[in-house]
Structure 1
Amino acid sequence: MEPDKDIGPSSPGPDTDVESQAWKETQAAPPPAHLPDERGRDDPSRLTSMASEKPTVIMEWDSPENPENPRNWSFGKRAFHTAIPALYGFVLTIGTSSYVPAIPFVMKEFKISREVALLPLSLYIFGFIIGPLIAAPISELYGRRVVYWSTLPMLLIFTGIASAANNISVLIIFRVLAGIGGSGALAVGAGTIADLWDMQKHGGRAALFFILAPFLGPSLGPLTGAYIIHQYHNNWRFSLWLVLFIGAPLAVAAAFMQETSEARILELKGKARSSKSSRQAGGSRLLLQKLRIAIVRPLEMMFLEPLVAYLSIYTGFAFAMLFSFFGSYNYVFQAVYAFNQRQVGLTFLGIFVGFLFAIVTFGIFDATLYRKAAAKAQGKPAPEHRLYAALLGSFLLPISLFWFAWSPMKGVPWIVPVLAGVPFGWGCLAIFLSATTYLVDVYLSTNGASAIAANGILRYCLGSAFPLFTLQMYTRLDIHWAGTLFAFLSVVLMPVPWVFFWKGKALRARSRYETNDA
């Protein structure tokens, strides 16, 4: 889970009597060029529908006060349904890095090289590309709840089998299946948030919580994994059981989730004029069609849209650097400071602190500079005003990487390279938040989710690849020059948000897709 932020309709009013419910059907029309389709409500699966499709029947509540509308649920009920996808993202991503301290023990037990022992990590991350592409169209046809109810059990079952593996092949295969099966919920989390909250009011904070949780997993996984392995006598399997320990109570809680998708709620209540049998008859055809769209369109945008391509490369690099630290932190702090696995896990807390700074910074920019621009533009600010946090992050990223490249050495306290993680986490998440909201604002509800999906494909491709060669770089180039190479790459990519900030409108005008014309 990479999470997006659209602007939803205004907040509903107070509850009304359930007897006053009625239903309306209207023909869906393309939204104005400057606004997202309010009925999309940040639904990634809905956003992937083709602009060229024939008009479809859209079902609506007759009034904003309808008590069955998820936005009219009690605060506690909405908070519960917000916490589930956020915690799910945390469980899924802590499974990436909690395995890192287990690698030496996996190498010893199965008598394999470090490169082979890294495959259960890299291929688990690679699975995050496939799962959301499958889950998005399923969510559109059958609702969000079915995705949560199916993906979390798959994550737990496949992880449990992987933890019992008696050879490396079984471990690799079921880690891949856990990544694919478990990551489907990443496709519906943002839509769930937008179902529940007005994005102009409390929805922004809920969305930030949802986005932050999956970033906390990789930063806390090395620490929790190292301590639980040590606690249970160096049994590496407990690094995977950690996912089961956290995920099992979450699965029980998820069983009490209710459907939040507006269209699915209306169908389940039997209020749609179209017959249920006719919908089921065309369900398979629609599913295949939407699955094709969910896969093909993001790939097209990744290769043909400069805005999508360059932002995806930039965010992908920043994200991949986080996963490269799984190898470089172990190597650097063990070689220079003789840290054990638990101490290495503690060094990731610097990145964790940086993530918190990024959330605060993005919130400040959104509440000040962006809202000022929105007021000045009568509620229609240019999407480029979403990039303020990325502009800051473009400086923080190379600073942190040069810092980490040259600070670890004899005579320099260990805290100095640890503190380099603060500006890294700050810059990494700031860039991601800005890029995500910018792409959604640019491509609106028509193609916004496809742009985000393209970003996710490249992000997880790079994230799965970097751990495989990072250690070789550090052993062959030495600590300082390997880190410097990464830092120079961040300098090369540094102009990306600045170019879009100044020339974004011209680039949007050349797009092959419908874009925001503000």
Structure 2
Amino acid sequence: MSPDLPCIVFVRSFLHKPDNIDHTEHHVRQETPKQIDGHTHRRKHSSDSEKTLTVEDWATSRENPHNWPLAKRVITSLVVYIYTFVVYSGSSMFITAVPLVMQELHLSEQRAMLGLSIYVLGYGVGPLLWGPLSEIPRIGRSVVYFGTFVAFILVTIGAADVSNYSAFIFLRFMQGLFGSPCLANGGASMHDLYPESQFPYTLALWVAAAYCGPALGPLLTNSLVNNISWKWTMWLLACMSGPVCILLFLLPETYAPTIRYRSNAFNTSHNQNNNNTSSQDDNPLAKLKFYLVKPVQITLQDPAILFANIYTSFIYGTYYTFFDAFPIGYPPVYNVSTTTLSLFYLSVLVGCLLAVAAYFTYLSLPNYLRKHHDNTSPKSTPTHTPPTKHERHLIPAIPATFLVPISLFLYGWTLRPSIHWIVSIIGVTMYASAVFIILQCLSMYIPSIYPEYAASLFAANDFCRSTLAAGAVHFGIPLYKNLGMARGSSVLGGVSGLGVLGLLGIYYFGERLRAKSRFVERLVE
């Protein structure tokens, strides 16, 4: 795909403010969400001089992030990657402190694990707030990034110094809440910076930063917890956050409507036209209601979105059960130390890197191979429909869904003294690779079918995933202790097998299912 092709699918996915632009050859189109809490958002149909703007006004402007020097875009991306990694690693850093917390504070294992689960819940709730706030042109992304991260550092220092465990749990929730803008807007920042042809690569790297953070958290804090104090999990997080906060202060704004708002890049008539709807567009309460209500409506009426939310929540929650399974399974079976146990989490990192390489390979395939797939897809019959351009995003996820149950069975049934520990770790690595590819494919699929509501759908999906992951931290303990590693993993593997049928159903029948949804976007081919 050429960078000059129209970007409506993904521009509307992430830059869906009313004054977004489609990178077409001759015009810039402006659209808004159709309805927010009863307020009809007017599509800006005025005179031709107000409605159509030449490409030179923005698409060729030096202020457009797509036109920034490559070095500036790469550095900006790296800042967002590092920011995302630090926030996500903050969740699992606490896992090495759980035994000491139980011993020093006389807590049950379930209550001690709240230090992990409540943080995950916090960064699931946050996108519902920071998503709409960051897409108000007067505010933008960089202000939200920096302002919330200052609060994140202050709360982290408070968590490191507090003596009451209940207060510590509250501060952990606030940590997740204030750290969540990277989850809410990280992918959007990638699309702010890169054209459609490069966006899948940069999005995959951002997902990898988020995915690998929890894998490295235990390794980063293990020595500090064993040699100093469990509270050094928070002090280390605060120390890592300081330099990131400076980088976020220097981070340039990437959100196009905010850049245009600040620089007055468009003509006076356009600005006046924006002012007519600013009371609606800049209303954070109206946008918040939109983010909360619209995804629920779409989810209940579109089977594809419903499946995506349920399936991603399950596999992401299963990923977090590994933080229960590893301490329960490996030390008694293989008599490993806590340091060695923290190294086992690196299997997730290895799996993620392998998945990134595989996904990049798929993206780099010659176009004729993809055309060959189109030509050999099943012809339309009464029982199935050939996949459309939206369903093609799911192609790498199809083999990955088969790997999910296989890897869980391999992990659970090979974790025994008679089998080397590397075999079960291979199962974890396979699972990590499969889940990464599935999440990446669905992250491309969802905005392609509902571009107008993509941000709200992502916020809802983030909330569902994080809520179930927070719960999984707690139900994983009795699952593995009562059923054992083999049977416990078999339960999860058996349920995940249903995802194979669901994804294949969406791949072949997605277009037919969307046709029954009144929210479907009829995009111009």
Q: How far apart are 1:113 and its partner, in Å?
A: 0.8
Equivalent residue number for residue 182 of structure 2: 185
Q: How far apart are 1:109 and its partner, in Å?
A: 2.0
Equivalent residue number for residue 22 of structure 1: none
Equivalent residue number for residue 214 of structure 2: 218
| Residue in structure 2 matching 1:363, options 360, 365, 370 | 360
Q: How far apart are 1:228 and its partner, in Å?
A: 3.1
Q: What secondary structure does 2:8 align onto?
A: coil
1-structure distance, mates of 2:150, 2:17: 21
2-structure distance, mates of 1:113, 1:415: 31
Structure 1 160/375 Cα, relative in aligned 2: closer, same or farther at 3 Å?
farther
**Kept after mapping to 2: 8 A contact 1:9/1:41:** no
**Kept after mapping to 1: 8 A contact 2:124/2:467:** yes
Structure 1 220/309 Cα, relative in aligned 2: closer, same or farther at 3 Å?
same
1-structure distance, mates of 2:468, 2:2: 32
Kindly provide the amino acid, as one letter, of the partner of residue 231 in structure 2: R
Kindly provide the amino acid, as one letter, of the partner of residue 443 in structure 2: T
1-structure distance, mates of 2:116, 2:367: 38
Please tell me whether residue 119 in structure 1 is matched to residue 100 in structure 2: no
Q: How far apart are 1:37 and its partner, in Å?
A: 5.7
**Kept after mapping to 2: 8 A contact 1:44/1:191:** no
> Percent of aligned positions with the same letter in both sequences?
25
1-structure distance, mates of 2:61, 2:207: 29
**Kept after mapping to 2: 8 A contact 1:81/1:257:** yes
| Residue in structure 2 matching 1:434, options 413, 429, 441 | 441
**Kept after mapping to 2: 8 A contact 1:8/1:42:** no
Structure 1 417/281 Cα, relative in aligned 2: closer, same or farther at 3 Å?
closer
**Kept after mapping to 2: 8 A contact 1:320/1:462:** yes
1-structure distance, mates of 2:413, 2:13: 46
| Residue in structure 1 matching 2:15, options 43, 49, 59 | 43
Please tell me whether residue 84 in structure 1 is matched to residue 91 in structure 2: no
Kindly provide the amino acid, as one letter, of the partner of residue 367 in structure 1: S
**Kept after mapping to 1: 8 A contact 2:10/2:196:** no
Q: How far apart are 1:336 and its partner, in Å?
A: 0.8
Structure 1 150/514 Cα, relative in aligned 2: closer, same or farther at 3 Å?
same
Equivalent residue number for residue 409 of structure 2: 402
Equivalent residue number for residue 75 of structure 1: 70
Kindly provide the amino acid, as one letter, of the partner of residue 316 in structure 2: F
**Kept after mapping to 2: 8 A contact 1:327/1:467:** yes
Please tell me whether residue 490 in structure 1 is matched to residue 496 in structure 2: yes
Kindly provide the amino acid, as one letter, of the partner of residue 285 in structure 2: L
**Kept after mapping to 2: 8 A contact 1:301/1:308:** yes
Please tell me whether residue 392 in structure 1 is matched to residue 399 in structure 2: yes
Kindly provide the amino acid, as one letter, of the partner of residue 92 in structure 2: S
Structure 1 418/342 Cα, relative in aligned 2: closer, same or farther at 3 Å?
same
Structure 1 453/512 Cα, relative in aligned 2: closer, same or farther at 3 Å?
farther
Kindly provide the amino acid, as one letter, of the partner of residue 223 in structure 2: Y
| Residue in structure 2 matching 1:168, options 139, 161, 165 | 165
Equivalent residue number for residue 55 of structure 1: 43
**Kept after mapping to 2: 8 A contact 1:308/1:454:** no
| Residue in structure 2 matching 1:154, options 143, 151, 156 | 151
**Kept after mapping to 2: 8 A contact 1:319/1:428:** yes
Please tell me whether residue 104 in structure 1 is matched to residue 110 in structure 2: no
| Residue in structure 1 matching 2:424, options 403, 417, 424 | 417
Q: How far apart are 1:262 and its partner, in Å?
A: 1.5
Please tell me whether residue 207 in structure 1 is matched to residue 206 in structure 2: no
Kindly provide the amino acid, as one letter, of the partner of residue 87 in structure 1: I
Map residues 7-22 of structure 1 onto 2, 5 A cutoff. 10=4
Equivalent residue number for residue 506 of structure 1: 512
1-structure distance, mates of 2:216, 2:282: 42
Structure 1 369/488 Cα, relative in aligned 2: closer, same or farther at 3 Å?
farther
**Kept after mapping to 1: 8 A contact 2:397/2:438:** yes
1:163-209 Cα shifts (integer Å, max 9, x gaps): 21201111100000111111023222222111211121x33322221
Structure 1 174/369 Cα, relative in aligned 2: closer, same or farther at 3 Å?
farther
Q: How far apart are 1:243 and its partner, in Å?
A: 1.7
Q: How far apart are 1:373 and its partner, in Å?
A: 4.1
In angstroms, what is the RMSD of aligned CA positions? 2.9
Structure 1 97/39 Cα, relative in aligned 2: closer, same or farther at 3 Å?
closer
**Kept after mapping to 2: 8 A contact 1:94/1:217:** yes
**Kept after mapping to 1: 8 A contact 2:10/2:191:** no
Q: Once structures 1 and 2 are overlaid, which stretch shifts more, 42-51 or 149-158?
A: 42-51
2-structure distance, mates of 1:501, 1:278: 43
Please tell me whether residue 476 in structure 1 is matched to residue 482 in structure 2: yes
Q: Once structures 1 and 2 are overlaid, which stretch shifts more, 274-283 or 174-183?
A: 274-283
1:329-359 Cα shifts (integer Å, max 9, x gaps): 1110012112222111111122211111211
Kindly provide the amino acid, as one letter, of the partner of residue 483 in structure 2: L
2-structure distance, mates of 1:223, 1:280: 51
- TM-score (normalised: structure 2): 0.85
Q: What secondary structure does 1:112 align onto?
A: coil
Kindly provide the amino acid, as one letter, of the partner of residue 290 in structure 1: K
